[in-house]
Amino acid sequence: MDMEKVNSMDFGEFVDVFGNVVERCPLIAAAVWSQRPFSNSEDLEKHFFAFIDALPQSGQEGILRCHPDLAGRELQQGTLTAESRREQRGAGLMSLDAAERLRLAELNAQYRARFGFPFVLAARLSDRAAVPGELARRLQRPPAEELRTALGEVKKIGRLRLADLLGAAGLAGP
């Protein structure tokens, strides 16, 4: 892994490349830049996750609130980030019928009303058939446990996005 290139990035380059590892939270990349040099991709990922874990609950909930709903308004309006659009399309969430979309909208609304943040799941590790059931199941979980679960999904999304970036941007090495 050619971490030499990553470690040589100035602040602007680093945030340009890694600013959306956590959806719409460039602050995290901006903070992690200070931790360079990174010994390898796991070390880089560890710093992203450590920042999330060190936040107060309000900050962790804030990260979740930066995520667009699955198959929600932003998908309909075409305002998703490129990463989110790819992830949601890959899970088949762009081709839901009206009934599926309505069901998901209802579940998302119930979830948000109960927890105060949106349902977050690593769409690339799921698919359109599984999402409603997973949402309904997690809807019943105690808030403290569900916050931990949701942050775990943010990390899964971040891990996959980092792997794309380090692999695709010619940063992958032997």
Ligand X SMILES: NC(=O)NC1=NC(=O)NC1=O
C-alpha span between 159 and 110 (Å, rounded): 28
Both tokens of 123, joined, read 């769409």
What single-letter DSSP state applies at residue 80? -
Q: Which residues ranging from 71 to 110 are in contact with ligand X (CB under 6 A)? A: 84, 87
Q: According to CB under 6 A, which one of 23, 48, 138, 147 is a site residue for ligand X?
A: 23
6 touches ligand X by CB under 6 A: no
70 touches ligand X by CB under 6 A: yes
Return the range that interacts with ligand X (CB under 6 A); candidates 34-42, 51-59, 67-75, 138-146: 67-75
What single-letter DSSP state applies at residue 69? P
Crossing angle for the helix pair 143-166 and 11-18, to the nearest 10 degrees: 110
Indicate if 67 belongs to the active site. yes
Please say whether the beta carbons of 32 and 3 come within 8 A. Answer: no
157 touches ligand X by CB under 6 A: yes
Return the range that interacts with ligand X (CB under 6 A); candidates 3-11, 54-62, 118-126, 138-146: 118-126
154 touches ligand X by CB under 6 A: no
C-alpha span between 106 and 111 (Å, rounded): 9
123 touches ligand X by CB under 6 A: yes
Please say whether the beta carbons of 132 and 104 come within 8 A. Answer: yes
Return the range that interacts with ligand X (CB under 6 A); candidates 2-10, 29-37, 50-58, 121-129: 121-129
Q: Which of 23, 67, 108, 161 is catalytic?
A: 67
C-alpha span between 109 and 70 (Å, rounded): 11
Binding site for ligand X (CB under 6 A): 23, 67-70, 84, 87, 118-124, 157
